[in-house]
Structure 1
Amino acid sequence: MNRQPRWTQTWLGGVRAAGADLGRPGERLGLPASGPGSVSGFGRRIGAVLVDWIVCTWAIGRGILGVDPARSAWVGLLVFALEYLLLAGTTGMTLGMLLFRIKITTVDGKRAPFPVIVLRTLLLCLAVPALIWDRDNRGLHDRASRTVVVHS
């Protein structure tokens, strides 16, 4: 008896469970499989955002500005956005990205121009676009700004 998987098994298991070969992250973009210029994984990206968020809300927000992050999350978000604009806009990476050795580039490997960083930062601050990923480990904020986060 030929047992075909039920449609719920392939739907719940994702596209890979249905037998589709999607390739490795970054392959469609022409990026290397490993080393500098390869697509960064989720762990490094999440670690970098956490470092940036802690620095912005606690060290700068509370330590320098004297604002309690528990009472005013908007100040932390504003400082976070300013950090992204200043650091990623000038160097292509934030403090957290520097620690995790990743950077923002355009899909063709060039440094992202400042208007692209502005768009990416605004979408990142909305959070939802950053939570929806594609098979190349790019969030909607990356796709909209035509950027990719790669190993530096």
Structure 2
Amino acid sequence: MDNRDVIGSWIEGPKAAAERMGVDFGYRGQRLGLPQDGPGSIAPVGRRIAALFIDWGLCALIAYGLIAHRDAAAANPWTTVVFGLMSVLLLGTIGTTPGKRLLRLRVVKEDGGPLGLGAAVLRTLLLLLVVPAVVWDRDTRGMHDRAVKAVQIRM
């Protein structure tokens, strides 16, 4: 192995090095028994982020127009409150929010069942802390989903 291989392996990261040694990571969701693609498969990260922005924007509009009486400074903290309530109520009951529904995503338990209100509360609190949501496992599930044994899937 020459220096170029050593530098190249460092740049590619540990996953590429492990795959060269014969480790098979499989596809996202395989460990959870989910299909590789199509309905029921792990939701793509881009769609999940887009759904989050749609939901946040909707909550900002609600806070700005209905609660803060068109005062932008007063609307900021209310946006978080509206987002939290919307997430808990909708994910805990129907498993989707307006942004997720628009992008055909759903949050379910690992076994496929509904999330429930208790799990939705914990998941939403962790999501609002941001850091647990941006730390992912190899299935691209955030710590907020892993904590409640949830997965975001395609509908």
| TM-score of the aligned structures, taking structure 1 as reference length | 0.89
Q: Which residue of 2 aligns with 1:28?
A: 31
Contact 2:91 2:116 in 1 (8 A): no
Equivalents in 2 of 1:26, 1:98: separation in Å?
Answer: 21
* Pairs within 5 Å for 1:3-152: 3=2, 5-6=5-6, 9-20=8-19, 21-57=24-60, 59-65=61-67, 66=69, 68-70=71-73, 72-152=75-155
Letter in 1 for 2:144: H
Unaligned runs of 5+ in 1: none
Cα 1:11–1:73 change in 2 (3 A) is farther
Q: Whose helix fraction is larger, Structure 1's or Structure 2's?
A: 2
3-state SS in 2 of match to 1:25: coil
Contact 1:62 1:68 in 2 (8 A): yes
Unaligned runs of 5+ in 2: none
Letter in 1 for 2:91: A
Aligned residues: 149
3-state SS in 2 of match to 1:115: helix
Structure 1 residue 13: Cα displacement: 2.6
Equivalents in 2 of 1:120, 1:147: separation in Å?
Answer: 9
Q: Comparing both chains, which one has the higher relative contact order based on Cα–Cα distances under 8 Å and sequence gaps of 6 or more?
A: 1
Letter in 2 for 1:90: T
> Alignment identity in percent?
43
Extract structure 1 runs of 4+ deviating beyond 6 A: none
| TM-score of the aligned structures, taking structure 2 as reference length | 0.88
Contact 1:37 1:150 in 2 (8 A): yes
Equivalents in 1 of 2:126, 2:10: separation in Å?
Answer: 28
CA RMSD of aligned residues (A): 1.8
Cα 1:11–1:111 change in 2 (3 A) is farther
Equivalents in 2 of 1:28, 1:60: separation in Å?
Answer: 39
3-state SS in 2 of match to 1:45: helix
3-state SS in 2 of match to 1:138: coil
Letter in 1 for 2:101: L
Contact 1:69 1:75 in 2 (8 A): no
